[in-house]
Amino acid sequence: MPKRSSFVISHTFYCSLCLLLACVANAYDINYSPFQPEKTPHLYPMQRCKVVKTFINAENEKTTWVLHTPQAAGVVLVVNRTLEANTIRITNRQTGQQLLVPAKIEGWIIGDEAPEVSAALLNEDTKTDFVLQTNSGGCGLGGQRFFRLFILSVGNLYQAYSMWTYNAGSEDFVDLNKDGRAEMIHTAFVDAEAGKDGRTHNYWVFHLLRFTGAKAIPSDRLQPGFPCWIFFTFSANHHPTDQLTNRQKIKAWKARVDNDICADAEDWPAI
């Protein structure tokens, strides 16, 4: 095991640090974004699904939210919170047919607030897809961990695909190569072995994902500079790090993810 300097901080400590620094909520930490501040990319259109009805059953502590969906989607979207599990389900608006096997929602649903859900065209077809996200970190600037559930159209049905990211927000969804399709900027927080300066450090790692069928897959080739490793320096930094060799990045990525982000993330390219 490589010896780690005291500078490498644990996720727990980092979250505590973020509580102290908390002032701005943003997708990918704005101080360490993979873009220069004046070159923030154009956002991909997302439509927030607002709550239209809330049903609260105090006796069994169940809350049900019915969310607005675009008319063209032709679906009813319902989130259930119970003592046992939180789930989301989708049915055909006309027939009531179940279109999604009820999918489990991880992360937190706090108080009477429904989780954030947005509609967008994410995969390659022209049917509406959905993204649900919940916070699970409770940290502030730069450190909030989020659960994301993608509900993707496949034929006439929907399939769910989940992952964890940091600092989730609508700014994560972009069209960097301007081809009319969405890319998502995924954020990971990785520590690696000693770099060029002989010390160990933490890094934000940004990947581009694109949605194909029922999955999100890495698509870094669409934009030079991805995946992007940004040295966490306790002050704003937007420059790819030169601390690590390609071999060290590959090693650090595989060691760090280990099914932490999603089932496929260990195989995402590190360089």
Q: Give the residue with the Cβ less far from Ca ion, 129 or 191.
A: 129
Q: Give the residue with the Cβ less far from Ca ion, 131 or 244.
A: 131
Q: Give the residue with the Cβ less far from Ca ion, 68 or 181.
A: 181
- Interacting residues toward Ca ion by CB under 5 A: 123, 125, 127, 129, 153
Q: How far is the CB of 264 from Ca ion (least distance, A)?
A: 19
Q: How far is the CB of 132 from Ca ion (least distance, A)?
A: 15
CA–CA distance from 63 to each of 69, 99, 118, 157 (Å)?
19, 21, 20, 25
Tokens 């040295």 belong to which residue?
Answer: 231
Q: Give the residue with the Cβ less far from Ca ion, 33 or 153.
A: 153
Q: How far is the CB of 17 from Ca ion (least distance, A)?
A: 39
Q: How far is the CB of 124 from Ca ion (least distance, A)?
A: 7
Residue nearest Ca ion (C-beta atom): 153
Q: How far is the CB of 162 from Ca ion (least distance, A)?
A: 17
First to last CA, the chain: 23
Q: How far is the CB of 220 from Ca ion (least distance, A)?
A: 22
Whole-number Å distance between alpha carbons of 54 and 149: 21
Q: Give the residue with the Cβ less far from Ca ion, 136 or 170.
A: 170
Q: Give the residue with the Cβ less far from Ca ion, 4 or 89.
A: 89
Whole-number Å distance between alpha carbons of 185 and 169: 10
Whole-number Å distance between alpha carbons of 206 and 124: 23
